[in-house]
A and B are shown apart, each in its own frame.
Chain A
């Protein structure tokens, strides 16, 4: 509605005012947006976030994308996957255990308050506390005192703070880990490590729903109005004047348009109804190359696509032989070439080639071998009926159907394909242990480290609070990863991570199917769109064409 120009905008605004008046409620906020008439927003495609926009409870890509616009992380990553300072001035450590983080001066919250070290302490303590049930709470598991906030289900939490977190002064934050962790600095760019302002907390010390609908950040954009999940089809933002970092030139308004289907979003992109689409559907790739020309971008991406098993509550998939057989029955190469038009690479490791630690061909059961697959599946007495769930809002239908056909043909089983309307639904059903079939899963990295393919997805600790939707638990794996975390040198940690990777390859809790490439496109109205390693747009660089 707001994307009109010239004479029309007057009528549009008047209508909007009328509508608001007629409703009699919720006035105020909407008039503010129509103030700067000619400034049409840059519009980006997004799926509906799973939760309210609270950093510590956002563990999926859509909410993270929105929050990344509102917050400035402590660190960013350059094109070579190396850490560069964001909101932090410096991050130092001597022993990988005690970390001193100096904040860059000049950052203020969107409500005007200055950002202080205590804001980080508050946010992280809140995130780690089991009473708050934050999805990303697990990321603080390495901070000393995490156990005090997580005594276990049903047990009362006696403190509200982690021992290891200290705001030395307004600009200095000292973090003590319970054990040395070499990747800690790399981690800090993740959504969960965003700070929270005082205003976020209600009188009961919890982050309020109002905050979740209209998060106040310290980043480039602030929300124009609260985002009502489920009803609103857009998230509207405006550049925050006092943001000290680089600001975009020539435009100030950003709009996330929420889509249920990435095909629809692609059609809108071609019609210039949305400006940036960073997850083009497989079916669009072939035509995107010609339709968009150099507005189509194909770049390596650190993500991995999997088929997962609900190991925790469905014993049908318990036998690793069954999982291996399923893996061997999938013709990854042809799927990557035909269904994805060459924009995915067949996966052969649990670590993506974009990240240090990848070994080509490491996963032997990832090689296509229908004969052996059938034999092994029959010998292991795999289930005669398989179900394969996927979210219909992410352009996955085709490759899932292709996998289903592979399994039908090569294993001789009945396969039903079950679409879930949104990614959030499938995650919710897995969280609730309701969904019993195999499921599509994907992983976009939080920070560029091999460790990020291991701990958050497969460690025992990530079952309850992280992204371990398989419910996979293996003590040796946990220990090996821990060894890597504590190793003195990066080379030594990598070696341990690869050892942990080997365990995954042997046990196949998920089946890696393909390595992502990022396929994005933008409209004729913008240019210089760069997608970073975390699959987020570098907003400050985007220009209007």
Chain B
């Protein structure tokens, strides 16, 4: 999808040398008291750092606007494009006018309203896919990394199989095969998740393996901590940072992938609105009326850019090595 931080040495390993500073690693009561008032965890550090990055602030604002747009599109436009009565075929392809800032599309529908409403599906699909891949890939990666041995070998081989499938082709295959099952836009989420979880898996697994051999984990084990306590109490908090970074960057990629699938005709289906679909519809008359294609394309680019910028900023903040 996009450039991912290197799996192995990413993030927390510098921290883990001194386990007591590890963010959520359950430290003993005494130590916490001593450190009170002086937050030095990875997360607070990162937040401190992020706040001062213009790129982060900028992308955060953009994303905030996009989120508002996808949840409350009616704040931005009084026209509801899902209502066919707002379209007037006889005004098809008209240029911008007072009530219709971006002009009209091939069917005489308002391009601005459709672009605003298109954000919802794109972001819903992007966010859902990201959550699913982060949870599934992350959990499996955690298990594989912690247990090692056969579990690790088998699951790693399985992910390699998935890696061998080209993402867009695989997603095309899945959506084209199951699109009649009445799953709506979720088929896109499923298709993208099925193909994308191995990436999170690998990163999580690599980070866990690095963390696993750290002294504090060995110490915890020696003290008789249970497997699950080690996994969720020690390993997860120390390995999750790269997963978060990759997920944020991937989110933009998923939105682009959704648009690509919709453009190819297997993603979101009309009458649902999606930027990819709008671009596909406007393509045939691009020379006559370029605006219905340009606006959704610009919104798509900005959204993808915003998430990737945010991911980059988060990576810089969470990965002290790159500073």
Contact = CB atoms under 8 A, between A and B. Distances in A.
Interface string B75-104: 000000001110101101100000000000
A70 B67 CA distance: 61
Contacts of A398: 106-107, 284
21 contacts: A263-B284, A281-B284, A284-B284, A287-B287, A334-B90, A338-B89, A338-B93, A339-B92, A404-B270, A404-B271, A405-B84, A405-B109, A408-B83, A408-B85, A416-B269, A416-B270, A416-B271, A417-B269, A417-B270, A417-B271, A419-B265
Contacts of A415: 271
Interface in B92-129: 92-93, 106-109
A281 B106 CA distance: 14
A414 B87 CA distance: 15
B84 A287 contact: no
Contacts of B221: none
Contacts of A417: 269-271
Contacts of B270: 401, 404, 416-417
A402 B107 contact: yes
A397 B282 CA distance: 12
Contact of B89 (A331, A407, A414, A416): A331
A408 B89 contact: no
B269 A283 contact: no
A93 to B, nearest CB: 50
Contact of B107 (A287, A392, A401): A401
| A interface residue count range (under 10 / 10 to 19 / 20 to 34 / 35 or more) | 20 to 34
Interface in A377-424: 392, 397-398, 401-402, 404-409, 414-417, 419
Contact of A408 (B93, B271, B281): B271
A3 interface: no
B288 interface: yes
A32 to B, nearest CB: 36
A286 B288 contact: yes
Interface in A397-454: 397-398, 401-402, 404-409, 414-417, 419
| B interface residue count range (under 10 / 10 to 19 / 20 to 34 / 35 or more) | 20 to 34
Contact of B288 (A281, A287, A416, A419): A287
Query: Most chain-B Cβ atoms within 10 A of its Cβ — which of A263, A286, A407, A414?
Result: A286
Interface string A346-381: 000000000000000000000000000000000000
Nearest to A401: B107
A398 B284 CA distance: 10
A335 interface: yes
Nearest to A286: B288
Given A281-B284, A401-B270, A402-B89, A338 B265 contact: no
Contacts of B92: 338-339
A419 B109 CA distance: 21
Contact of B265 (A286, A334, A392, A401): A392
B108 A338 contact: yes
B32 interface: no
Interface in A250-286: 263, 281, 283-284, 286
A335 B284 contact: no
Interface string A332-349: 001101110000000000
A502 to B, nearest CB: 30
Query: Most chain-A Cβ atoms within 10 A of its Cβ — which of B83, B106, B269?
Result: B106
A212 to B, nearest CB: 28
Given A331-B89, A339-B106, A401-B281, 15 more contacts: A286-B285, A334-B90, A337-B90, A398-B106, A404-B84, A404-B270, A404-B271, A405-B89, A406-B89, A408-B83, A408-B84, A409-B87, A415-B271, A416-B271, A417-B271
Interface in B51-91: 83-85, 87, 89-90
Closest 5 A-B residue pairs measured CB to CB? A408-B84, A283-B284, A409-B84, A409-B85, A405-B84
Nearest to B272: A416
A331 B90 CA distance: 10
Contacts of B87: 405, 409
A401 B288 CA distance: 19
Nearest to B176: A421
B32 to A, nearest CB: 58
Contacts of A405: 84, 87, 89, 107, 109
Contacts of A286: 285, 288
B172 to A, nearest CB: 13
Contacts of B108: 338
A263 B265 CA distance: 14
Contacts of B107: 398, 401-402, 405
Contacts of A335: 89
B280 to A, nearest CB: 9
Nearest to B85: A409
A334 B89 contact: yes
Contacts of B271: 404, 408, 414-417
A339 B284 contact: no
B104 to A, nearest CB: 10
Interface in B156-183: none
B164 to A, nearest CB: 25
Interface string B282-301: 00110110000000000000
Nearest to A408: B84
Contacts of B89: 331, 334-335, 338-339, 402, 405-406
B185 to A, nearest CB: 13
Nearest to B265: A419
Nearest to A338: B92
B159 to A, nearest CB: 32
Contacts of B83: 408-409
Interface in B242-289: 265, 269-271, 281, 284-285, 287-288
B218 to A, nearest CB: 59
Interface in A199-223: none
Contacts of A408: 83-85, 271
